[in-house]
Chains A and B, each alone.
Chain A
């Protein structure tokens, strides 16, 4: 078997694979759309085969525990990363305060062909949030409150944000810079049942000057909304964006009519009445799922530990003594000796 595998285990092939991978990595910089994923997959597969053959056939690897651990871990990382890409999910969602997560609202959705979606099992409700801002409108920490089932029929409050994701069934929800306001409206048609919903305004404070949107109620004309906000925002000092404390005047434009509404006020429009219930907020999340994450970490750490053990066994104890002894012979050096294996 070794005779068959040996040609694949060549260190020269390793170098070729490394050069190809380096080219693929350079081409993948910034994830350009024009670069195929194959520029990475092919050299990685090539190196994985080379590595596997070397692990089996090369005694300089498989007879040294530390080095063997490192190379097996390296192979494991490549395999796990591949499995991770095949089973992953990345998506975004925007959740309005006091509404439950729904898998139907995902956008920018990217998932591997082997992804078995458990998104429908996820239950949590978005709560209010605050975001700290330093002077100069520099965003600080985000504190987003969510409620998750506590398993006893109640709800457990959690605060997530930035590097503290909400983790449910392996799905990780990260708050994003994308968040804003959403007026809660009720449309009461002249005939039929009232409908309550929200209008998402653009992200705040990123689009502070463009807090507008349109909506066409069933059987009614298109309505243009503009939200005039009082959030305490200031560029010169630190402030906290807090949707609970923000006030918003909703400017409603329908045809030639322009009306300013405060929460609780109603306006008559062709086809029905519109009531501005209250000002709500929405929070944007990035969703990430990769079942191999923990295994990747453990495997990679084992790899580094293996390499460390190899280093220590090979050099650790001898290094100072050898160097010190050689110092005494300073001046008696040779310029012709070849490098040694490390």
Chain B
């Protein structure tokens, strides 16, 4: 069924994405304008507040889009890819804007983090906003805990990956002036891993909440279905990366690559699973 004409959430979604696009443009332009200043010279920070305002506006507009869709189809954004992407864009915006506001030192890394969100942004704009029936097993409160904790995980992962990406880009001589606003490499590395450790905590909690939900919903807490296997591999990858960093005292750029690999695995878990499994969670319908 073609729902392009009846999906009242679309204008809000498009406005939200436009706001994110403006924030991305402002950040990139602001960071690039830093170029040319000598090391230690005053850096351009004038872009930070406008970028923050547009990220917040995007979050607010996406909240409206989610609310509009919720009212239209009668259930939350938990089932099909369109609404999952929309919901992730909202939650990533919330978490990233909080980190952006709370830790001014990391703001230049938005030049990496915001374009990453655009992978979801472009994707959601290409999907039909169709409504999907709400499975009976989704009326469980643990679903909220599971999904909510997962959003925190991915949000902190995004912040860590933004920092890791900035750390790597800063190693390219031509791009090095873009990131003068960031603290030292050691501090960027430190902050990136702190966010990844936070992500690890929330991922662990997400797995617990998911297991409780799965037990209620399908009568088993773990069954190695597509999402369970993939999310366990993500947990192992992140745990392994943390241990590798401790064991081998990884150089910062190697650590940054580890963080990006974990983010890729997490991204595939969240958004790639539907492409290799017809039912992400067994018994979902």
Contacts and interface: CB of A to CB of B under 8 A. Distances in A.
B243 A15 contact: yes
B229 interface: yes
A327 to B, nearest CB: 4
B247 A326 contact: no
Interface in A312-342: 315, 319-320, 322-324, 326-327, 329-335, 337-342
B252 A337 contact: yes
B15 to A, nearest CB: 31
B219 A25 contact: no
Contacts of A139: 136, 285
A339 B250 contact: yes
A163 B137 contact: yes
A86 interface: no
Interface string A287-324: 01010010011001101100110010001000110111
Given A286-B219, A326-B187, A339-B250, A162 B233 contact: no
Contact of A340 (B136, B186, B212, B232): B186
A202 to B, nearest CB: 20
Contact of B185 (A142, A329, A335): A335
Given A15-B240, A25-B233, A337-B252, A90 B220 contact: yes
Interface stretch (A26-34, A122-130, A205-213, A251-259): A26-34
Given A297-B208, A339-B193, A340-B190, A324 B105 contact: yes
A328 B252 CA distance: 21
A119 interface: no
Chain A CB within 10 Å, residue with most, of B105, B170, B240, B244: B105
A142 B102 contact: no
A141 B139 contact: yes
B247 A11 contact: yes
B218 interface: yes
A322 B249 CA distance: 22
A7 B41 CA distance: 51
B43 interface: yes
A113 interface: no
A83 to B, nearest CB: 14
Contacts of A187: none
Nearest to A81: B222
Q: Bin chain B's interface residue count.
A: 35 or more
Given A18-B240, A26-B233, A300-B208, A12 B185 contact: no
A340 B213 CA distance: 37
B243 A31 contact: no
Given A31-B224, A323-B191, A311 B198 contact: yes
Nearest to B189: A339
Contacts of A141: 136, 139
B251 A333 contact: no
Contacts, number: 186
A303 to B, nearest CB: 7
B171 interface: yes
B226 A29 contact: yes
Summarize A's interface: helix, strand, loop or mixed.
Answer: mixed
A339 B255 contact: yes
A140 interface: yes
B146 interface: no
A163 B39 CA distance: 60
Interface in B206-251: 208, 211-213, 215-221, 223-226, 229, 232-233, 236-237, 239-240, 242-247, 249-251
B233 A340 contact: no
Interface stretch (B49-57, B110-118, B176-184): B176-184
A161 B217 CA distance: 10
A327 B105 contact: yes
Nearest to A172: B219
Contacts of B189: 339-340
Chain A CB within 10 Å, residue with most, of B102, B224, B244, B285: B224
Interface string B160-199: 0000000000110000000011111111111101100110
A341 B182 contact: no
Contact of A288 (B180, B187, B220): B220
Interface string A1-45: 000000000011011001101100110111100000000000000
A165 B171 CA distance: 56
A333 B185 contact: yes
Contacts of B252: 337-339
A304 B104 contact: no
Closest 4 CB pairs of A and B: A326-B183, A333-B184, A138-B133, A174-B219
Interface of A: 11-12, 14-15, 18-19, 21-22, 25-26, 28-31, 90, 134, 136, 138-142, 161-165, 172, 174, 286, 288, 290, 293, 296-297, 300-301, 303-304, 307-308, 311, 315, 319-320, 322-324, 326-327, 329-335, 337-342
Interface of B: 39-41, 43, 102-106, 133, 136-137, 139-140, 170-171, 180-191, 193-194, 197-198, 200-201, 204-205, 208, 211-213, 215-221, 223-226, 229, 232-233, 236-237, 239-240, 242-247, 249-252, 255, 285
26 contacts: A15-B243, A18-B243, A22-B237, A25-B232, A26-B229, A26-B233, A28-B224, A30-B224, A138-B285, A161-B136, A162-B137, A286-B219, A288-B220, A297-B211, A319-B103, A320-B103, A326-B184, A326-B187, A333-B185, A335-B185, A338-B252, A339-B189, A341-B249, A342-B194, A342-B197, A342-B246
